[in-house]
Amino acid sequence: MKRKPEDMEIVWQTPANPPEHHDYIRRDGIRYVKPYYFEFISHAKNRWAGKTIVDLFSDEFKGRPPEYYVSAVKDGRIQVDGQKVPISHVVRSSQKISHFLHRHEPPVMAWDVEILHEEKDVVTVCKPASIPVHPCGQYRKNTIVGILEAEHGLAPLFPVHRLDRLVSGLLILARNASRADLFRQEIESGKVQKQYIARVIGVFPENELVMNANVHYNAREGRSTVEVGDDYGNDENLLKGKAACTKFTRISTNGTHSIVLCEPVTGRTHQIRVHLQYTGHPIANDMLYLSESVVNRSSEGLAADRAASRSVGSLMLDCYETSNEKSGGDSCEDFSIDPMCTNCPNLAPKGYDGHEEGLFLHCVRYTGEGWSYDCPPPDWADLT
């Protein structure tokens, strides 16, 4: 029998609550986070002013039906300036809006986060693909920083550089803010050499290839494009995007794929991925840059990579989702079902199946003045 919301004992979490080992559930190669209650806070934007609290949520946050927001306001799960309000409440600019939510984090692959090197001020790890580095979007505990705190007691940690969620390899984390600042100063001044390896389509040119081409990131579509000047006198200074340079060197090839050493001189969003696409040798499993058109990702609020994989491999994903639905009923043994939650009884939120193939892109080395850290190559780098 479902419990009424008013009968439930709810314990709210804040960012001050550290991730703990028992927060995670591993199942069928996937790492889930037990759903938990969390307060999301925002301050009313000018365009929100004049709307009723229910209309505001219905217009701005379309992931849930309007009737959910009506119930949430009546139940006090949506509050304004720390107070319950009627559904007719009209929002004013800058008011504090709280949404107390049963939070379901997206799942990630259940690979361990291997610690490569540990010293007083620095920890380096081999980041698995599919796991974001730090809390962002819907991810909080299912992150490298969260997992290291929960499973190894390593906190606080300050990521020195960033790896995209689907990229694997070396990740450097400082153990204090001052050491992190020193690393970042070196990186920003161009004194750090970065090396990645990628598995690309086709036979990559044998000689070193230096790609100098502006990279323009479209935040709305979650994807970058390359922009270069032409032979007709068009001024390169009028191009969108930012100057970007990547050096590429072929390591090996089997005639179908090539392993390429990638050395980004600059650090633009998706720089290596889009520069490889521009050479005619995209990363072999990079659905976002293998597809010819930008995928519509707005309907379900999916990230661009996930939307691209979904459109290319929809049949496979349907199979995964069917499997998840079958196992979803069993997941309630691991956590309490919330009768108002639009994601219960499944562990994962809607639209997230958890079966994601990591990109064939891996960080192998960072070298600075007097230091160098390495990460072993992945299995896909062996073409034999």
Residue 164: active-site member: yes
Per the CB < 8 A criterion, the answer to whether 272 and 244 are in contact is no
Token output for 330: 């069993």
Token output for 244: 């970007």
What is the distance between the alpha carbons of residues 367 and 283, in angstroms, rounded to a whole number?
24
Tell me the C-alpha to C-alpha distance, in Å, between residue 9 and each of 1, 121, 261, 336.
16, 41, 54, 10
Token output for 300: 């379900």
Among 55, 75, 164, 374, the active-site one is 164
Per the CB < 8 A criterion, the answer to whether 183 and 237 are in contact is no
What is the distance between the alpha carbons of residues 376 and 384, in angstroms, rounded to a whole number?
17
Provide Rg for the chain, Cα atoms.
Answer: 23
What is the distance between the alpha carbons of residues 164 and 130, in angstroms, rounded to a whole number?
9
291-296 long-range contacts (CB < 8 A, ≥24 apart) are: 294/218, 294/221, 294/223
Per the CB < 8 A criterion, the answer to whether 150 and 20 are in contact is yes
Q: Which helix (H) or strand (E) holds 207?
A: none
Provide the 8-state DSSP code for 7.
G
Chain CA centroid to CA 234, Å: 37
Q: Give me the active site residues, please.
A: 164
